[in-house]
Amino acid sequence: MIRSLLLLVSLMTFGQVFAQTVQLDTLRLMQYNLLNYRNTTGQCTNSTNNPDDKDGYMQTIVEYVKPDVILVNEMGSHWLNPNKMLTNALNKNGVSHYEQAQSSNNGFSNLVNMLFFNKNKLTLHKQDAIKKDLNGADLVRVIDVYTLYMNYPGGLAQGDTVFLTFFLAHLKAGSGSDDKQERADMTAAAMDYLKNNHQEHSYFFAGDFNIQTHSEACYQTLTKNSTATIRFYDPMGAAGSWNNNSTFSNLHTQSTHDGDSRGGCFSTGGMDDRFDFILCGKEVLDNTYDVHYIPGTYKALGQDSRRFNGNIKNPSSNIIPANVQNALYEMSDHLPVLMDVDINDRSVGIQNIPESIKLVVNYGKGHVDVFFQDAQSIEKVEILNVNGQRVKDEYITTSEQTISIDITNLVGGMYVITAIDKDGNIFTRKLPL
């Protein structure tokens, strides 16, 4: 009876502290097709797409948006080192917190994807690249995969941090059957990679998809995948035929120009396509792994639904400053896509645990490993749901310092893990699954 009361008090304390301290930070994500950034073509030259001018426009946009994760398409591959955008556009005017991932292109294309991130909040854990389709042939473009983690004190060393994995793709352009097949091959390879490498992370799939409707095979592969646990979702829930459809004018991202092509460098036709996306896994919508989409934050920057088949510069915007509106017009024929996510702090303890106990949880696939600094004093470990019901328990019969608890049958959500010592004292911390 006494132990039950202690557990109840622990859960009440958990609820109070959770409500006050669980949110650590908010991350702003930005995906952007930069339109031949420092890449020269017959149409995109120093006069029609001046790289130094573009640095200034990008600086204006980033200073306004203040993104924490920047995912870009169409960077000139030979300008990744030296890091022109990092030094000329992002880390300017007293800003020094942006870092850049490594290029994985290896000669595939003159244009590459790239990730920039706020190093004060995040660290790049690893990156990979998907280069082959399911038959072993080269993809048209590399799909990059980046995994970041939150900078909690000691978080990575203790396995007690939050991971975010981003797939970044620039799918094949064009409306022909061959183009659609190449887009389908790219997303099929990405989803096969995800199926074989899936972990307890929060996943995103971003990029320029070059599609006109949700019914295209490549999009269906992402959002209706045969493996339900790895499907991606549109935070806006806006399935449809987006091309030249005013119903979706708030989501159209291309083209920012309706007439002036700058010598053929910029696409024209006005705002009538939804080419650019940030999709997320269901775990982001459900807050399964401490990353949660904030409803209402997904947007195409500068899009106010008044620009159907028109340009981003006219009429004057009533939602962004004039200099940002001009920068969007001059920088690219695409608009950036934004979304915000809340991050919950796994490192926040529920109560002060004595150093002799030091209850540390390491998350693994299908199990949690619990480490005790003083294993001699711990008798039992329990996992309880938020209603106080015991869903797992593990008796400790030896002096082992680490035990592994299977959690494959537990649904995602918030739990409490408790360690009970030989004197009946209970030590608790939250356990998000």
Give per-residue pLDDT as tens, 317-366. 999 999 999 999 999 999 999 999 988 765 544 344 444 445 555 556 66
Q: What is the C-alpha to C-alpha distance for residues 140 and 346, in angstroms, rounded to an integer?
A: 40
Ranking 7-16, 251-260, 264-273, 382-391 by mean pLDDT, the lowest is 7-16
Query: Does residue 305 have a pLDDT over 80?
Result: yes
**Average pLDDT score over residue span 92-108:** 87
Three-state SS for 332? coil
> Which pLDDT belongs to residue 263?
94
> Which pLDDT belongs to residue 18?
35
Which helix (H) or strand (E) is 340 found in, with range? strand 337-344
> Which pLDDT belongs to residue 60?
98
Tell me the HSE value of 254 on the side-chain side, using a 13 A CA sphere: 23
> Which pLDDT belongs to residue 410?
76
> Which pLDDT belongs to residue 383?
79
DSSP assignment letter at 345: -
395 band by pLDDT with thresholds 50, 70 and 90: low
Of 384, 386, 385, 403, which Cα lies nearest the Cα of 394? 403
Residue 4 tokens read as 């039950």
**Average pLDDT score over residue span 139-152:** 92
**Average pLDDT score over residue span 43-59:** 96
> Which pLDDT belongs to residue 397?
58
Q: Within a 10 A sphere around the Cβ of 358, how many other Cβ atoms? A: 15
Ranking 208-222, 311-325, 344-358, 374-388 by mean pLDDT, the lowest is 344-358
Q: Identify which has the larger pLDDT, 367 or 149.
A: 149
> Which pLDDT belongs to residue 152?
74
> Which pLDDT belongs to residue 288?
87
> Which pLDDT belongs to residue 16?
38
Query: Does residue 3 have a pLDDT over 50?
Result: no
Q: What is the C-alpha to C-alpha distance for residues 99 and 86, in angstroms, rounded to an integer?
A: 7
Residue 280 contacts residue 204 (beta carbons within 8 Å): yes
Angle among Cα 295, 300, 303 to the nearest 5 degrees reads 115
2 band by pLDDT with thresholds 50, 70 and 90: very low
> Which pLDDT belongs to residue 153?
65
Q: pLDDT by residue (tens digit) across 258-300?
A: 999 999 999 999 999 999 999 999 999 998 888 999 999 999 9
Of 131, 153, 163, 117, which Cα lies nearest the Cα of 281? 163
Q: pLDDT by residue (tens digit) across 127-137?
A: 999 999 999 99
22 band by pLDDT with thresholds 50, 70 and 90: very low
Dihedral sign from CA coordinates of 124, 126, 132, 134: negative
Residue 161 tokens read as 């941090």
Q: Identify which has the larger pLDDT, 286 or 18.
A: 286
Residue 73 contacts residue 132 (beta carbons within 8 Å): no
82 band by pLDDT with thresholds 50, 70 and 90: low
Domains of the chain, with CATH numbers?
2-20+348-432 (2.60.40.3080), 23-344 (3.60.10.10)
pTM of the model: 0.77
Burial of 335 (0-12, 13-18, 19+ CB in 10 A): buried
Query: Does residue 83 have a pLDDT over 90?
Result: no
Per-residue buried b or exposed e for 320-334, using 16+ beta carbons within 10 Å of the residue's own CB: beeebbebbbbbbbb
Query: Does residue 184 have a pLDDT over 80?
Result: yes
Q: Identify which has the larger pLDDT, 191 or 389.
A: 191
Residue 279 contacts residue 243 (beta carbons within 8 Å): no
Ranking 77-81, 170-174, 251-255, 302-306 by mean pLDDT, the lowest is 77-81
* Bridge partner residues of 148 (DSSP): 124, 164
> Which pLDDT belongs to residue 159?
56
Residue 136 tokens read as 């072993």
Any residues with CB less than 8 A from the CB of 133 and at least 6 apart, and which?
A: 139, 185, 186, 188, 189
| Summary mean pLDDT of the chain | 84
Ranking 197-206, 237-246, 382-391 by mean pLDDT, the lowest is 382-391
Query: Does residue 388 have a pLDDT over 80?
Result: no
Query: Does residue 65 have a pLDDT over 70?
Result: yes
DSSP assignment letter at 96: -
